Amino acid sequence: MFAPSEDQQALIDAARAAAEAILGPTVREDDEAERFRRDAFRRLGEAGLCGIPTAEAWGGLGLGYLEYAMVLEEVAAVSAAYGVALAVSGLPQVILARYGTDAQRERWIPGLAAGELLGGFALSESGSGSDAASLKTTARRVGDEWVLNGSKFWITHAGVGDVFIVMARTGGPGARGISAFIVPADAPGVSFPKREEKMGMRASPTGEVLLEDARIPADHLVGKEGEGFRIAMSALDSGRITIGAISVGLARAAWEYASRYACEREQFGRPIIRFQGVGFMLADMAMRVEAARLLVHKAAWLRDEGRPYTHVAAMAKCTATDTAMAVTTDAVQVLGGNGYIREYPVERYMRDAKVMQIVEGTNQVQRLVIARHLERTFGPR
């Protein structure tokens, strides 16, 4: 865990080369144009990066979440937006692998693992973000179909994705009334009326999924009725590891760029890294990136080992995303005025970093998860 094995290093090198070749040449213009390129995503799939932890039987590489975290870091160091694309399209694979039927797995996972299909995860609504158990979208059984009504907000890949795992209410109030469904983007009654204009992650499309008497076959229910909230929370535990890994890649890119700049930029006759105000800032950035990576890798390792990891995943997500925000902000500071203009990438890194503290459960929610674990561990019995 402290150093990659030979196989892991080969995977890291391959992921880095693929990301730089496929995403590097257009990353700036894609951000400015708010453009997501399906052809680039497919090429990532051809490079084997869309199904890292998915079983080989379903077209994946059958590796662990530790390897997944390593790959996501490399992709995010080039483009955080496409790191998010890999992670979000991976969530339906994780959910169906654990809770789906054989028919569901065979129908959807191979295309997702190959990058031929683009997946999404639809839980949040305008009135239920952190309070996900209060969602209002409904699903009712009508003959051999489910009919869904409601709207989902802040959904990655809305308007460009092929299939979404949608959480909807089939029973009473609260978490026990929620079920999970496979909703193809082309199902009758599904539309995508709005794409958000965002501060960062501009190459990653985010928008609304509108369900107006949307009809899907009865066999598109995932798991049993009433299991949706548990399925969603399980997926979010895994997702927090991936968001942590993406944040490490983003922070690393900013720190490395700022370090190179500080070694080349001269003031008063010497490189600015030799001034303590800059050199110490870069040293702190390096320490934070390294610590965040180790915590993300620990959470991934625990998941791979089948050990409890929920609170460690929360720690990893919170630490890594706070690190990304701090390190990217400091990178802008190291570059001074140059850091604030689009010619240099650090302003994009900073804009991309902010949302990482919000998605997959805000960092305030992560601290709540950690505090509850501490209470269970150290409180009276």
Active site residues: 360
Structural contact between residues 356 and 243, judged by C-beta atoms closer than 8 angstroms = yes
| CA–CA distance, 76 with 82 (Å, rounded to integer) | 7
Rounded to whole angstroms, the Cα distance separating 151 from 135 reads: 10
Helix axes 65-78, 276-304, angle to 10 degrees: 150
* Angle CA 263–269–271, to nearest 5: 10
With beta carbons less than 8 A apart as the criterion, state whether 135 and 123 touch. yes
Alpha helices in the chain (DSSP H): 6-22, 27-33, 38-46, 65-78, 80-99, 102-114, 228-264, 276-304, 310-335, 346-356, 363-378
Instruction: Please answer whether residues 373 and 311 qualify as being in contact, where contact means their C-beta atoms are separated by less than 8 angstroms.
Output: yes
Q: What is the distance between the alpha carbons of residues 19 and 10, in angstroms, rounded to a whole number? A: 14
Question: What token pair was written down for 108?
Answer: 């959807």
Residues ≥6 apart with Cβ < 8 Å to 26: 37, 40
Q: What is the token pair recorded at 368?
A: 């709540």
| Longest distance between any two alpha carbons in the chain, whole Å | 79
Alpha-carbon dihedral angle through residues 341, 321, 70, 155, given to the nearest 10 degrees:
-90
